[in-house]
């Protein structure tokens, strides 16, 4: 089970760091991805990281967001800089599978996520 946290209200141009905590057994062998869902829109992948540290970013996140893993804390972080109002969404983390061309979530259960609101 994963627990997302760290959301909040921030002004445009600001930064937030989201955390996704997992059990050691889950964290050590699985790729983890951050997704987001804005009101009225489909959930989309923002960034993902393999157990070995390989990363993948959505075009909207490249250059602004950084995904990383802390092996000591069994936590995946999403550092979000230069935030824009379009980044407003509920952010979720999930285990993912890196395919040849796509990254797909492993589970249908998404939890409550953590809400990010970026004001203009």
Give the pLDDT of residue 28: 85
Residues shown for the chain: 120
The contacts of residue 11 (CB under 8 Å, 6+ apart) are 118, 119
DSSP assignment, residue 63?
T
Q: Mean pLDDT score of the chain, rounded to an integer?
A: 95
In whole angstroms, how far apart are CA 6 and each of 15, 81, 113? 11, 14, 10
- Ranges under pLDDT 50 in the chain: none
The contacts of residue 67 (CB under 8 Å, 6+ apart) are 34, 47, 48, 49, 55, 57, 76, 77, 78, 79
pLDDT digits (tens, 9 = 90+) for 69-95: 999 999 999 999 999 999 999 999 999
Give the pLDDT of residue 55: 96
SS3 (DSSP) at 31: strand
Task: Report d(CA 89, CA 35) in Å as an integer.
Answer: 9
DSSP assignment, residue 101?
S
């Amino acid at each position: 089970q994963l627990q997302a946290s760290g959301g909040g209200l921030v002004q445009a141009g600001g930064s937030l760091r989201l955390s996704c905590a997992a059990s050691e057994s889950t964290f050590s062998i699985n790729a983890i991805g951050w997704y987001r869902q804005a009101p009225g829109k489909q959930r989309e992948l923002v960034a993902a990281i393999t157990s070995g540290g390989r990363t993948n970013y959505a075009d909207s996140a490249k250059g602004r967001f950084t995904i990383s893993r802390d092996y000591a804390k069994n936590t995946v972080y999403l550092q979000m800089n230069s935030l824009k109002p379009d980044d407003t969404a509920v952010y979720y983390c999930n285990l993912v599978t890196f395919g040849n061309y796509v990254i797909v979530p492993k589970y249908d259960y998404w939890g409550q996520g953590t809400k990010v609101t970026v004001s203009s």
